[in-house]
C-alpha cells in the first residue's frame, strides 16, 4: 500500500483516473488532509532536484509509491480488467524493485569508476586520448568500484537487519506493545540498497560541480602577507591552528569531503527515512558499512593500483 509523502500514513490510492490516462485527480490523505503524493504530477527533473536536496517526501515517493496502481473511476479494476492478489502483487513488485536496483547500481558503479579513473590516471605524454594502459586501469577501477559497492551495500543491509531485529526484540519485551509504524510495515530489504543508490545523487552532483569548476589548478599561492585588519582572528591554541589549517583551501580535499562526509550524511538521511528509526541507529549502520568497505578497500587497493602511488590514491578516496 502506498504512503503519504507528508505524514507517512498508508493511503489506498495516490490518484484517480477518469476516462483517459491524461485525466487524473490526486487523492487526499485521510490523516493529514494534504495531497498524498504530489510527485505523481511532477516532472522527473523536479524529482531529481528534490532528491539532490534530500527532501523526505521524494524518498517516500520513489521507494514506496512509485508504480502504485491508481483508482479507476470506471467499474473495471485496471486497464486489462484483471485482478491480482495482494501477495502476488507484492512479489511482482519486489522482483521489479530488485531488477531496477540492479540497473541503477550498474549505472552508478560506472559513473563512480569513471570519476575515480579520471582522478587516478597518471599524466601521459601520448597524444592518443585512450591508451592501452588507460583501458587496463579503467577496468581495474571498475572492478574495484563494483566490489566496494557490493560490500558496502551488503554491510549496510546486514547491519540494518541486525538493528531492526534488536529493536523489534526490545519492543516485544515491553508491557505496552505498540504497532509498528506504517513505514516499517511497508519496508522490504530491497528498499535499502535502492535507498543508498538514490542517496548517491547528491554526492555525484557535487563531484560533477567540482569537475567542472575545479579551482585547485587555477589558484596560485600568494606570497604577499595579508593586511591585518582590526577584526582579524588570531589563533594561538595549537588545536585551533591545526583545525584552521585543515580547512584551508590549499590543503582541504574537497573531493574526499564530498565523497565520504557529505555522501555518508546523505546515505544516513536516506536510511533514516526508509528504516524509520532513531538517527543514532542509522549512524551506527553507516559506520558499520564504512568499516566493512574500509577492509575491502585495503585489500582491493593492491589490485587496482599496481604501483604504490595509485594504490595510496585509491585508499585516500575509499577510506572515510
Same-domain pairing of 61 and 101: no
Instruction: Supply the DSSP symbol for 39.
Output: G
Asked whether 207 and 115 are in contact (CB, 8 A), the reply is: yes
Same-domain pairing of 27 and 117: no
In a domain, residue 82? The reply is no
pLDDT at 135: 84
In a domain, residue 184? The reply is yes
Q: Which residues contact 75 (CB under 8 A, 6 or more apart)?
A: none
In degrees, rounded to 5, the angle at the alpha carbon of residue 170 between the alpha carbons of residues 167 and 174 is 135
pLDDT at 87: 47
Same-domain pairing of 132 and 281: yes
**pLDDT of 299-317, one tens digit each?**
777 777 666 556 666 666 6
Strand ordering across the sheet containing 15-17: 24-26, 15-17, 71-72
42, 74, 106 - which closes a domain: 74
Total Cβ atoms within 10 A of residue 273:
23
pLDDT at 23: 79
Distance CA 18, CA 3 (A): 22
Cell of 128: 592518443
Q: What are phi and psi of 129, to 5 degrees?
A: -70, -20
Low-confidence ranges of the chain (pLDDT < 50): 75, 80-85, 87-88, 91, 218, 220, 222-225, 320
In 3-state terms, the chain is what percent helix, strand and coil (to 5)?
60, 5, 35
Asked whether 262 and 203 are in contact (CB, 8 A), the reply is: yes
Same-domain pairing of 260 and 139: yes
pLDDT at 84: 47
Same-domain pairing of 70 and 101: no
Instruction: Supply the DSSP symbol for 175.
Output: S
Distance CA 63, CA 275 (A): 12
Same-domain pairing of 54 and 125: no
Name the pTM for this structure.
0.81
Q: Could you tell me the residue range of the domain that residue 153 belongs to?
A: 97-213+246-320
Assign 282 to helix, strand or coil. Answer: helix
Same-domain pairing of 51 and 174: no
In a domain, residue 171? The reply is yes
Cell of 304: 587496482
Total Cβ atoms within 10 A of residue 294:
17
Q: Distance of alpha carbon 57 from its chain centroid, rounded? A: 15
Distance CA 20, CA 297 (A): 53
With CA atoms as reference, report the closest residue to 209 among 318, 43, 47, 52.
52
Q: Distance of alpha carbon 100 from its chain centroid, rounded? A: 15
pLDDT at 129: 67
In a domain, residue 91? The reply is no
In a domain, residue 86? The reply is no
Distance CA 50, CA 59 (A): 9
**pLDDT of 149-196, one tens digit each?**
999 999 999 999 999 999 988 888 887 777 888 899 899 989 999 999
Amino acid at each position: 500500500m502506498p504512503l503519504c509523502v507528508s505524514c507517512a500514513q498508508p493511503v489506498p490510492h495516490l490518484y484517480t483516473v477518469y476516462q483517459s490516462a491524461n485525466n487524473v485527480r490526486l487523492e487526499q490523505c485521510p490523516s493529514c488532509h494534504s495531497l498524498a503524493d504530489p510527485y505523481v504530477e511532477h516532472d522527473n527533473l523536479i524529482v531529481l532536484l528534490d532528491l539532490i536536496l534530500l527532501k523526505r517526501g521524494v524518498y517516500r515517493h520513489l521507494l514506496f509509491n512509485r508504480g502504485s496502481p491508481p483508482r479507476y473511476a470506471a467499474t473495471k479494476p485496471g486497464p486489462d480488467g484483471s485482478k491480482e492478489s495482494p501477495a502476488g502483487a507484492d512479489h511482482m513488485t519486489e522482483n521489479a524493485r530488485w531488477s531496477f536496483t540492479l540497473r541503477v547500481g550498474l549505472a552508478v558503479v560506472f559513473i563512480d569508476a569513471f570519476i575515480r579513473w579520471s582522478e587516478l590516471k597518471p599524466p601521459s605524454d601520448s597524444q592518443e586520448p585512450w591508451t592501452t594502459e588507460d583501458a587496463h586501469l579503467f577496468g581495474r577501477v571498475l572492478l574495484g568500484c563494483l566490489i566496494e559497492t557490493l560490500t558496502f551495500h551488503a554491510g549496510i543491509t546486514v547491519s540494518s537487519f541486525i538493528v531492526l531485529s534488536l529493536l523489534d526484540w526490545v519492543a516485544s519485551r515491553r508491557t505496552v506493545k505498540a504497532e509498528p509504524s506504517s513505514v516499517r510495515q511497508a519496508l522490504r530489504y530491497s528498499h535499502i540498497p535502492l535507498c543508498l543508490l538514490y542517496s548517491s545523487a547528491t554526492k555525484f552532483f557535487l563531484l560533477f560541480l567540482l569537475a567542472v569548476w575545479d579551482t585547485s589548478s587555477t589558484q596560485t599561492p600568494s606570497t604577499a602577507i595579508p593586511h591585518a585588519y582590526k577584526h582579524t582572528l588570531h589563533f594561538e591554541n595549537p588545536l585551533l591552528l591545526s583545525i584552521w589549517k585543515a580547512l584551508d583551501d590549499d590543503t582541504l580535499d574537497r573531493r574526499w569531503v564530498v565523497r565520504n562526509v557529505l555522501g555518508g550524511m546523505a546515505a544516513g538521511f536516506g536510511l533514516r527515512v526508509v528504516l524509520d528509526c532513531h538517527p543514532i541507529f542509522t549512524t551506527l549502520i553507516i559506520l558499520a558499512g564504512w568499516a566493512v568497505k574500509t577492509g575491502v578497500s585495503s585489500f582491493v587497493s593492491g589490485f587496482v593500483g599496481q604501483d604504490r602511488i595509485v594504490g595510496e590514491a585509491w585508499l585516500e578516496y575509499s577510506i572515510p
